């Protein structure tokens, strides 16, 4: 403002507006703050509305208002700790997700089979480290942390283990099933897997069926009786390993003691007695052919025995040269001596089992060589004349009876063993230790958990719109005021 003094005694007042700084950026904070206050109620109203809409939408469209159900399954049989199935094959626990298993479960629950793929993707299976392996890893870890022992670190990485318990999780948010159906579906799948497991991996070895399928009518009677005798020996060995229990089959009515006695009688009074009768009465169709047969058998058995002996020698050398892993654990003080431990090794134990198996094979071949040599000697002593017709008829009749006896024993033994393994040996081979269930989390807490993320996103969006609108409106108000000042200043200047 300037005051100019005139000659006539009047004052002239001129208002001069300061020029704006064109080089700087003017931020109208007072107007922005006023805008924030002005729109606060509108923002609060939209924030509440967004919360209501998100909550209602989540409650209406979300079918997962509880945690994913989890179950615990376990395998308990010889070989499970080595990752094997009951019949010695490699165990693949992911066969729980086999389409055949899931289809069986869906059919049982009367659900459409179109859900198979989504269910497979929703199931996850995690192995639980066995206690022994976890302890072994802890020892190596302690040695590593205590002394920085690189050997301990390497040993820790080389710890082999196979879980026998698994956690099965069903993330049903990936499916069309709701809370009340989720646990029911996964439990049905785990139950159907029991049938699949026993069908695929359970005890199914049949004894003697292959040898009995051969028609021995075109063979010499001595060969036929020898084949039946071998079958009876196999049956005897299998049954004798199961005699020391009180099991009695509900299907055959026999215990293993009963079967062992029956097999022994069939071998001693049927097979062995018939063999003696054949040799004593020279009931042999082709003596020269029989001699060639037994000579070939002896040579073949000697070759197999030699191979088994070489195998045993290799195993014994491996055992001699094998060195178990060892770890050194130092004491907590300098005065305390270090302790050295050797670890349990499955590979080392496996070598001893292989050695025992090889020794059994050698003993078996030696026994068979002796038996065949005795038969060969007996055949060589037989008369060259043709056998009497009545002796031939008697042998033929007795071979037929022996055939029926052995077939019946094979069926009874196989049926009894199958029932024994199903009801005793593998009764707990696979089991659902903890059934799946929806965790006891309240409906409200799970609903809040589900809406937390979308609600946060919507509230941030509403808040950003509120702040952005307030800033823009603040600039608009400030611009209006500045233009009004410029207009007023221009009007005074004109006057």
Integer CA distances (angstroms), 24 to 20, 21, 27, 95, 407, in order: 9, 6, 10, 71, 108
Q: Which is nearest to 123 in space by CA: 189, 176, 43, 215?
A: 189
CB-CB contact of 68 with 173 (8 Å): yes
Q: What is the pLDDT of residue 164?
A: 86
CB atoms within 10 A of CB 491: 10
CB atoms within 10 A of CB 19: 6
Rounded Cα–Cα distance for residues 354 and 311 (Å): 9
Query: Looking at residue 383, what DSSP letter applies?
Result: -
Q: What is the pLDDT of residue 17?
A: 47
- Give the number of residues written for the chain: 495
* Half-sphere CA count of 146, side-chain side, radius 13 A: 16
Rounded Cα–Cα distance for residues 459 and 64 (Å): 23
Instruction: Measure the CA dihedral 258/260/261/265, to 10°.
Output: 140
pTM: 0.54
Q: What is the residue-level pLDDT of the chain in tens, covering all 495 positions?
A: 444 444 455 445 454 444 444 445 677 888 888 888 888 888 888 888 888 887 777 666 554 445 788 899 999 888 888 888 887 788 899 999 999 999 999 999 999 999 999 999 999 999 888 766 565 556 556 555 556 555 555 554 555 667 889 999 998 888 888 777 888 999 999 999 988 888 787 666 666 665 555 565 667 888 888 888 888 988 998 899 888 888 999 999 999 999 999 999 999 888 989 988 888 888 887 788 888 888 888 999 999 999 989 988 888 888 887 765 554 444 444 554 544 445 556 677 778 788 888 888 899 889 889 988 888 888 888 776 666 788 888 988 898 899 899 999 999 998 998 888 888 877 788 889 989 876 545 455 555 666 777 778 888 888 898 888 888 888 888 888 878 777 777 776 665
């Amino acid at each position: 403002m300037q005051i100019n003094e005139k000659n006539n005694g009047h004052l002239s007042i001129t208002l001069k507006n300061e020029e704006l700084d064109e080089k700087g950026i003017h931020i109208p904070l007072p107007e922005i703050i006023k805008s924030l206050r002005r729109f606060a109620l509108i923002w609060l109203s939209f924030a509440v509305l967004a919360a209501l809409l998100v909550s209602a939408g989540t409650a209406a469209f979300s079918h997962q208002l509880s945690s994913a159900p989890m179950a615990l399954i376990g395998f308990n049989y010889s070989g499970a700790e080595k990752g094997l199935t009951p019949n010695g094959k490699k165990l693949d626990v992911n066969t729980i997700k086999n389409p055949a298993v899931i289809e069986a479960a869906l059919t049982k629950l009367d659900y459409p089979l179109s859900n198979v793929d989504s269910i497979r993707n929703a199931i996850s299976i995690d192995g639980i480290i066995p206690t022994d392996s976890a302890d072994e890893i802890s020892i190596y870890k302690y040695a590593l942390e205590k002394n920085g022992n690189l050997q301990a670190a390497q040993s820790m990485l080389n710890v082999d283990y196979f879980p026998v318990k698994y956690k099965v999780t069903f993330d049903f948010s990936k499916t069309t099933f709701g809370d009340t159906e989720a646990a029911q579906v996964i439990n049905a799948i785990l139950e159907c897997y029991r049938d699949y497991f026993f069908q695929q991996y359970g005890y199914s070895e049949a004894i003697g069926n292959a040898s009995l399928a051969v028609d021995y009518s075109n063979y010499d009677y001595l060969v036929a009786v020898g084949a039946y005798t071998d079958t009876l020996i196999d049956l005897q060995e299998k049954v004798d390993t199961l005699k020391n229990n009180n099991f009695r089959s509900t299907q055959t009515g026999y215990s293993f003691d009963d079967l062992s006695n029956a097999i022994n009688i069939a071998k001693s009074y049927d097979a062995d007695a018939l063999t003696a009768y054949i040799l004593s009465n020279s009931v042999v169709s082709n003596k020269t052919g029989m001699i060639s047969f037994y000579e070939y058998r002896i040579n073949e058995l000697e070759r197999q025995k030699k191979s088994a002996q070489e195998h045993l020698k290799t195993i014994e050398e491996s055992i001699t040269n094998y060195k178990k892993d060892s770890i050194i654990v130092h004491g907590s003080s300098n005065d305390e001596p270090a302790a050295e431990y050797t670890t349990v090794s499955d590979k080392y134990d496996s070598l001893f089992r292989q050695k025992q198996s090889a020794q059994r094979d050698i003993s078996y071949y030696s026994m068979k060589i002796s038996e065949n040599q005795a038969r060969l000697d007996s055949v060589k002593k037989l008369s060259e004349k043709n056998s009497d017709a009545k002796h031939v008829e008697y042998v033929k009749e007795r071979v037929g009876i022996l055939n029926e006896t052995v077939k019946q024993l094979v069926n009874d033994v196989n049926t009894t063993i199958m029932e024994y393994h199903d009801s005793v040996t593998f009764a707990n081979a696979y089991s659902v230790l903890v059934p799946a269930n929806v965790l006891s989390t309240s409906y409200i807490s799970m609903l809040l958990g589900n809406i937390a993320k979308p609600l946060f996103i919507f509230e941030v969006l509403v808040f950003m719109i509120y702040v952005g609108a307030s800033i823009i409106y603040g600039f608009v108000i400030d611009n209006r005021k500045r233009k009004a000042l410029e207009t007023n200043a221009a009007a005074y200047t004109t006057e």
